Chains A and B, each alone.
Chain A
């Protein structure tokens, strides 16, 4: 190997060394930083957009809360049942309806969930449900009226008529029917505080 070739070789080695030891690692770092900058820019853009929508979201929230103020969605299950029964008794008294039986019925809620369209498994149910069965006796029109009244009451409920059966005896010369009504009372889920596992 003559001198020229050796010089070329050494120069090449130095250049290659410079490329692999200086240029390449620095380029990798620069690419990484550029990617980080891009991510941060996206993040800032998203956050800025989200923050800009804050006042509009607050207005929307206030509007929705106002729409829901007339129904009691918070509170204990017992309070909810109590409120519903008071409303039912008041409506029944107004319409001359007899509430002959009230029974807790868990099967209604279960049945409803089974027939409801499939939801994503992770999506929580919107409401906590308390199912009740009510047996009523009154005129046909009053039964339909009380169901509509209870739907409009301050206790949020999903109410449906399960059956209407003609009552054999006439009261005040008016034909009476007995009705079985399913009422599913709706309330917000209780907040469950997260329990932190003890570090092991």
Chain B
């Protein structure tokens, strides 16, 4: 009969038939139904319960952590919302200041450019050689053109040097020098003053 069924029970006729199909826990854990709740099974069940309990504890801890973080986040969102109007105002002010600065800088630059240009024209006029006169001056963005008359050709060289002294980065060169048909011994000249160097 083996160790699973008592011989006396079979001999007395108490046991007449055997159920050879094992119950679900028995099938699961490889134990006979009658002896299902044995030591091994206890350990197994305990292990599974422990696993479930561990998972449950883990779940509680995680839920608690998430709740804590949610709380922190809500507090921060409220603070951020409270700071928003002042920050927006500061942003608008910054943008306005940048615009005003651009305007001021552009105006200052425009004035400086005009003063520089008029100063240069005045300097040319002031430092013209004694017997040299300008009849026209064209002030382009990068290149100026000076037209005039001079009594002596050598004075044109002096004028070219003067232009270089006024703006050392520039390049002044004689475009043409022709005898004036109306006045003897006078030279009509055209000088190009390249200021883009």
Contacts and interface: CB of A to CB of B under 8 A. Distances in A.
A161 B134 CA distance: 16
Given A57-B97, A68-B103, A3 B29 contact: yes
A57 B97 CA distance: 8
A34 B135 CA distance: 79
Contacts of B106: 126-127, 186
B34 interface: no
Given A17-B55, A43-B80, A144-B118, A7 B47 contact: yes
Contact of B51 (A11, A115, A141, A160): A11
Contacts, number: 188
A80 B111 CA distance: 18
A22 interface: yes
A64 B100 CA distance: 6
Contact of B125 (A4, A6, A43, A140): A140
A34 B58 CA distance: 19
A156 interface: yes
Nearest to A144: B118
B110 A157 contact: yes
A68 to B, nearest CB: 6
A100 interface: no
B121 A144 contact: yes
Interface residues of B, number: 66
Interface stretch (A86-94, A130-138, A162-170, A190-198): A162-170
A98 interface: no
Interface in B25-59: 28-31, 40-41, 43-44, 47-48, 50-52, 54-55, 58-59
Interface string A50-62: 1101100110110
Contact of A6 (B44, B70, B113, B141): B44
B115 A151 contact: yes
Contacts of A17: 55
B103 A165 contact: no
27 contacts: A3-B44, A6-B28, A6-B44, A10-B44, A10-B48, A18-B59, A23-B62, A26-B66, A34-B69, A40-B80, A44-B83, A51-B86, A53-B90, A54-B90, A64-B100, A73-B103, A111-B141, A127-B103, A144-B121, A147-B118, A148-B115, A151-B114, A157-B110, A160-B113, A160-B117, A163-B137, A166-B135
**CB-CB nearest 7 A-B residue pairs:** A18-B55, A26-B62, A51-B86, A7-B44, A47-B87, A14-B51, A47-B83
Given A61-B93, A158-B114, 14 more contacts: A2-B30, A14-B52, A14-B55, A18-B59, A22-B59, A40-B73, A40-B77, A40-B79, A40-B80, A51-B83, A64-B101, A67-B104, A151-B111, A165-B136
Interface of B: 28-31, 40-41, 43-44, 47-48, 50-52, 54-55, 58-59, 62-63, 65-66, 69-70, 72-73, 76-77, 79-80, 83-84, 86-87, 89-91, 93-94, 96-97, 99-104, 106-107, 110-111, 113-115, 117-118, 121-122, 125, 133-139, 141
